[in-house]
Amino acid sequence: MSRDVGSDGWQRNVWALSLSVFIAFVGFQFFSPFLPLYVRELGVTDPARIALWSGLIAAVTPAVSGLLSPLFGRLADRFGRKMMLIRSLAGFTVIIAAMGLVTSVQQLFLVRLIMGLFAGFTPMAMALASISAPRDRASTAIARVQGAQLLSVVVGPAVGGTVASHVGIRPAFYVTAAMCVVALIALIFLFRETGALERGDRRTPVRSVPLTEFLRYPHFIPVMLLLLVAQFIDRALSLLVPLHVAHMPGIEAAAISGLIISVAAVGATVSASAAARLSQIVPVGRLLLGQLLVGGMFCALMAVAERPGPLLVLRTVVALCLGGALTLAYTLGGMIVPAETRGAAFGWLALGVQIGTAASPLLNGWLAGASVPRAYVMNGVLAWVAAALLAFGARGLVDRRERDEG
């Protein structure tokens, strides 16, 4: 077997995929934190309407993508997952550039809706990472891709804020479009798509599988719900921290929010990497259970932070606890299905991620309008509910090791 599909080949592919994800997500961070400011620039002045439009605009893309996930999965089976990522990045290049040309908030909403037709980039990248690696190294591959995404939050908002401050928000969209082109080129020339790898580097074809077949696997729905909760909380904290800081008197809200977001991103990256390493020796479910229990407690405690210092510390601790939750939940998903259907399974599991992505800004924005502390507590309780689901609804996964056969 050639080196490219052997033990070193999957590593090369995962690093290439991680590079492409990092470049694209740095670009996404150039504009996504500033969408509320762009909504105001487009003529919406009432704070309540700005919050409403910002939530709708943030939610519509993942909502459309989630509804179309089964179609994306079938297209990936037919044309390959690399081709679907190429389609996504090419579409983003045009659509994000168009976002910089709109003249009303209604046009921006429509463009974001169209963007949903090309979305699903992150779940597809996770699926591609999983099927590119041997079964017992899936968590390592997923953690690298997730780490690339998390590290983009360290770089993107700061650079994007500088661009927006000096030349305006609209040019930030054009910079993002250009970075999508760079990510697209990296993906085309550096990633070499193969079938899923099992022990002994045997190439396994990926086939289309309906959701009804996966529902027969024990714990498939609980894993989907775990992914939904992990993504819901992650998106919630991205929204709540800037709103929380904005209510603190006598500070520069934008700068402090950016600092907290960046430090938390570093913590989440460390957590994802550590979770992948520990999963080689500690059962994946047990790691995830501990993260949810401890992370939920500190998430709820963020409600009592009244100054930037304590909020920074608590947000970093939450990131260290919950930053690896998505990696571990995806790993559990890869463990409960056969290797030849792992890619298709991730396509269906992505539905939970997309629902969490779409629902979180809407629900947390609505709740934070009345009380930001209550929103923190709700997300902490949600983490504990997920822990209970894992402990009692998917008990067979708690002590399951990644190297165990499915």
**Domains of the chain, start order:** 3-188+206-398 (1.20.1250.20)
Q: What share of the chain is helix, strand, coil (3-state, %, to 5)?
A: 85, 0, 15
Residue 101 is predicted with a pLDDT of 94
- Name residues of the chain where pLDDT drops below 70: 1-8, 33, 47-48, 51, 73, 77, 135-136, 157-158, 160-165, 194-211, 252-255, 339-344, 401-406
pLDDT for 184: 95
Supply the pTM of this predicted model.
Answer: 0.73
Maximum Cα–Cα distance for the chain, whole Å?
64
Beta carbons of 386 and 229 less than 8 angstroms apart: yes
Nearest to 32 by CA among 290, 238, 289: 238
Residue 199 has what pLDDT?
44
pLDDT for 21 equals 92
Write down the pLDDT at residue 109: 95
Tokens matching residue 314: 């608590």
Tens of pLDDT, residue by residue over 44-80, are: 887 667 767 877 888 888 888 878 877 776 777 678 7
Measured between alpha carbons, how far is 80 from 87 in angstroms, rounded to an integer?
11
- Element of type H or E holding 69: helix 69-79
pLDDT of residue 3: 41
